[in-house]
Structure 1
Amino acid sequence: MTTLVIASGNAGKVREFGQLLADLGLETRPQPDGLDVEETGNTFAANARLKASAVARATGCWALADDSGLSVDALGGAPGVHSARYADSDGARIERLLRELGEAGAHDPASRGACFTAALALANPAGEVVLEVEGICPGQILEAPRGEGGFGYDPVFFVPEAGLTFAEMPHSQKAELGHRGRAFAALKPQLQEALMAATESC
């Protein structure tokens, strides 16, 4: 069985990856404790490449990384690649986002357009990035959180197509409509082919 290391220390993200990959017959595990990859890229794709390559080299295993985040139109695309570093906790990040949107005068739902982007990169055990895809989910930022599920900005990210926030959606619906789910849908056939061609697992 091929081992795939998920290049993340975020427990919610690792759990979601595991669910999305459950039917591929892989052994998935999180990156080693204490391994910290500096995200110096200016785009989601660049950061995904950095993380996948570094974790693959550190573990000698196939590694799958994503860099994902929220881009809000009225904030000029912020928080963008800084989404996870926007504040010290999920609650504080949401609080800052809503405060800055209010300061920008974005009170009308039509002016609160946003999108979640997920860039995925797969690196082989030598650290070479062999696959890259991107998924995007458009939506709007609500004025107050709704829902108990998900993590990060999920309670304030409303998807008009579903009439729900990410935090209100069941996992299956978020997997279908969400940015990470859309990226995985593009990646999975290629991922399966790449791993089946691998002669060794770690």
Structure 2
Amino acid sequence: MTKPVLVIASSNTGKLAEFHELLQEALPHGAVDLRPQPAGVTVEETGADFLANACLKATAVARFTDAWALADDSGLCVDALDGRPGIHSARYAPSSARRLERLLEELAGRQDRSARFITALALARPDGSIALTSQGISNGHILEAPIGEGGFGYDPLFWIPAVGRSFAQMTPAQKRRHGHRGRAFAALRPRLAAALLHQPPAESS
């Protein structure tokens, strides 16, 4: 039996690395042919929320590749900024460094620095129909200066009090446990093998 192809619907190298680790742990070794999104594929993110955008990306990449596709849409929602940058997190400024600078500029002098990272995941069948969705949230606050060398995006500014570290300081295992993407994937994981491999769903612990 030919094993299913699962395309990670992203060109973000940081996301690709995180998903690769998560999927390696969630699925039997060698059971699925994991592939990155083909070069040149772009999807306009016109959805009204994270889940809508994740579904748009998963559907488009699945239809383009004629394979299963797993997509996410993630963003940082800051309370003092009325939820911004939100679904526009990746387009908040032209570069990663400038996005961090802009966030700090907009929060200058503000006492309330509470924020949350949100991830929505969508798994699409090869015909583009959505098979599974999930969401994960991490609550924390925005630091006054970047800390840590790991991660990507806003990670150096996002502090998790329960861990006492920024996302950029966490080990991969810590980020999988406390991060929004890891939590969204944990909600999807019990149903993933059932969808891809036609196996019974994993029992909840």
Aligned-pair CA distance for 1:2: 2.0
Aligned-pair CA distance for 1:196: 1.2
Unaligned residue ranges in structure 2 (runs of 5+): 200-205
Match of 1:30 in 2: 36
CA distance in 1, matches of 2:61, 2:37: 7
Aligned-pair CA distance for 1:197: 1.6
Return the letter of the residue paired with 1:135.
Answer: G
Instruction: Show the 5 A alignment for 1:32-181.
Output: 32-102=38-108, 105-106=109-110, 108=111, 111-181=112-182
CA distance in 2, matches of 1:65, 1:35: 13
CA distance in 2, matches of 1:11, 1:155: 17
| Runs of 4+ with >3 A deviation | none
Query: Identical aligned pairs, as a percentage?
Result: 60
3-state SS of 1:34 partner: coil
RMSD of equivalent CA atoms: 1.0
3-state SS of 1:9 partner: coil
3-state SS of 1:148 partner: coil
CA distance in 2, matches of 1:163, 1:93: 23
3-state SS of 2:140 partner: strand
Aligned-pair CA distance for 1:192: 1.1
CA distance in 1, matches of 2:13, 2:175: 17
Aligned length: 193
Return the letter of the residue paired with 2:103.
Answer: L
Return the letter of the residue paired with 2:190.
Answer: P
Per-residue deviation, residues 169-198 of structure 1 (Å, max 9, x unmatched): 001000111000000101011111101129
Return the letter of the residue paired with 1:44.
Answer: F
- Aligned pair 1:18/2:24, yes or no? no
CA distance in 2, matches of 1:14, 1:83: 18
3-state SS of 1:135 partner: strand
Aligned-pair CA distance for 1:90: 1.2
Query: What is the TM-score normalised by the length of structure 2?
Result: 0.92
Aligned-pair CA distance for 1:27: 2.2
Per-residue deviation, residues 61-86 of structure 1 (Å, max 9, x unmatched): 00000000100000000000000011
CA distance in 1, matches of 2:119, 2:79: 17
Unaligned residue ranges in structure 1 (runs of 5+): none
